[in-house]
Chain A
Amino acid sequence: MQGTLLLTKAEIIRLRRNRRFLIFTIALPVVLYLIFAKQKATAYGVSFEAFYMVGMASFGAFSGAFNNNTIRISQERKDGWIRQLRLTPLPANAYVVAKIISSMVTTVPSIVIVLLLGRFYAGVHLEAWKWVAIGVTIWLGTLIFAALAVAVGYTFNPDSVQPVALVIYFFFVIFGGLWFPLSGGLKKFGEFTPTYQVVRISTDVVGSGAVSVAAVVGIAVWLVIFLSLATVAVRATAETV
């Protein structure tokens, strides 16, 4: 476990030096929030400011956990860094565990910053427990997207991973309603995405406090699916990595 933590620490150092990571996980959600948050409208039964706060925090967390990891994992598989790690006393699963933990650590700032903007820039007022609940919900969503990133990164080579990741990324951003609230037919379809479910649980907390059971079940199912896909993808490469 100590070795896994050392590797996690190194992964966090790398992410902090990566400008692309900082732009997508922190700068972009913050800028979008500053530009679009203040609208006289409602979404999912809450004010637009509150919806967009949840949306942008999820957007940053999703970008941080998914975008970077897919490309890095695929590249590090090809470069032989994963092989190199297998020659050390590190446990076999340490690489994947370190990726997931480092994602969960590095997405915390983007979530916290957007929530702070919601409170102090857009004037969203909530009870203390609700702030904690939406922060934790979005943060746990990171785990789902990191698991998906592991599955994609282990399945596709660096040549093809970028377009594949981009398609999946925009699919979940748009059909999950991270950028704008879903309605009508789009919503019927988008309701099944994990990104929508994370936003929906959070807006339910902001509003009535009564959380949609379907969304909670949905998100648990997605977590199981993505973790299974990740496990299968990692095992499939055991002889070639």
Chain B
Amino acid sequence: MSQEYASAPAGAHAGTQATATGTAHDGAAHTGASVVSFESVTKNYGNLRAVDGLSLNLWPGETVALLGPNGAGKSTSLDMLLALRKPTGGRIRMFGSDPYHAIKSGRVGAMLQSGGLMPEVTVRELVTLVAGLHPRPIPVETTLKRAGIAGFADQRVDRLSGGQTQRVRFALAIAGDSELIVLDEPTTAMDVETRRLFWANMKVEVAEGRTLLFATHYLEEADQAADRILVINRGRLLADGTPAEIKARAGAKRLSFRLDPVDEPFLLGLPGLVNLEVRHDLVQIQSTDSDATLYALLDAGYRPREIEVGSLGLEQAFLAITAEDDRANGDAHTGEAV
């Protein structure tokens, strides 16, 4: 498999995108070998660039969320990681070798959105089959319990509901004793209670020392389950850090006040400002340093009214990061006042 390096040198990985928050994770804290590494990976579909110079590392024992809007390149990245698609450029390594080799030696358990099940067999027969393909199978009864599917283990696979099917897919991902588990949107089609149960079971898997990578668009899930979040948009890595760091990156604080008259050019120059919205005399600011922003405003002689300072949730942080990126790419949303 000859994969050329993309134009960016490998040393410049994670590049300008992640330096704000991500450096801690690529630094000296990790002396061991990475479980997964992407080195300037690109993927083109015809003229469309789905993944654009993606560089990242996963370290043993981490639970990492891959977060991004639809079409951000999450599924394509996972497909390439799982050797289902070949990168157009760059290199992907898994346990120091090519991903195909790692999968065939049973070191990875994976669940895809697009993964199907064999019909006409029972759930137990299917789990038994997939466990049997694994060099280090987990006892079938254990897997059935962990995936929460023991209750319908003797039903035929083609007669299950969407949520049940999703849990069977998960069971196939954990049927062997893998070191890395990769899940693409694992809780889609699950109700709230099943989702809670799913993450409780997942914690057991992770506590046994496994590395977990999951793609999601549920921000709450990423916030609660992940040690680390990778935000991707347009096939590029925009942010890499703990949930707290991601929130900080986007402007951790929301600052709002009334000001009459509004001097927009001045406001845009305030320190720490990440995003500005103005509606009549109401000003809303996202800031990485709300104190500095506010002091600068007061020092300039302004006397804003109804000052409120609050924290930003991960969802707003995520929206701010991707909106910033979209603006940088020249198609600002009309609703935003920058």
Contact = CB atoms under 8 A, between A and B. Distances in A.
A88 B118 contact: no
Interface string A58-90: 000000000000000000101111111011111
B134 A79 contact: no
B118 A10 contact: yes
A14 B118 contact: yes
A186 interface: no
A94 to B, nearest CB: 9
B133 A83 contact: no
Interface string B194-209: 0000000000000000
Given A7-B129, A87-B82, A81 B112 contact: no
A76 B86 CA distance: 22
Interface string B175-187: 0100000000000
A241 B172 CA distance: 18
A83 B135 contact: no
Which of A87, A91, A239 neighbours the largest number of chain B CB atoms within 10 Å of its CB?
A87
A86 B104 CA distance: 9
Interface residues of A, number: 24
Given A6-B129, A10-B121, A14-B121, A88 B134 contact: yes
B112 A84 contact: yes
Contacts of A80: 112, 114-116
A88 B117 contact: no
Interface in B118-136: 118-121, 125-126, 129-130, 132-135
A88 B85 CA distance: 15
- Interface range, B side: 20 to 34
B118 A83 contact: no
Contacts of B109: 87
Contact of A81 (B103, B118, B176): B118
A89 B115 contact: no
Contacts of B85: 239
Contacts of A87: 82, 84, 103, 108-110, 112, 115, 173
B112 A83 contact: yes
B133 A90 contact: yes
Contact of B130 (A18, A82, A88, A239): A88
Contacts of A89: 103-106, 133-135, 176
A109 interface: no
B10 to A, nearest CB: 25
Counting chain A CB atoms within 10 Å of each CB, the highest count among B110, B132, B135, B176 belongs to: B132
A82 B109 CA distance: 15
Contacts of B129: 6-7, 10
Contacts of B108: 87
A3 interface: yes
A13 interface: yes
A129 to B, nearest CB: 39
B279 to A, nearest CB: 47
A3 B117 CA distance: 17
A40 interface: no
Interface in A1-57: 3, 6-7, 10, 13-14, 17-18
Contacts of A18: 120
A82 B116 CA distance: 7
B121 A81 contact: no
A1 to B, nearest CB: 12
Nearest to B156: A17
A84 B85 CA distance: 14
B252 to A, nearest CB: 38
Contacts of B169: 84
Across the A-B interface, give the 4 residue pairs with the lowest CB-CB distance, nearest first. A79-B116, A80-B116, A81-B116, A84-B115
22 contacts: A3-B132, A6-B129, A10-B121, A14-B118, A14-B119, A14-B120, A14-B121, A79-B117, A80-B114, A80-B115, A80-B116, A81-B117, A83-B84, A84-B112, A84-B172, A86-B82, A87-B84, A87-B173, A88-B134, A89-B106, A89-B133, A90-B133
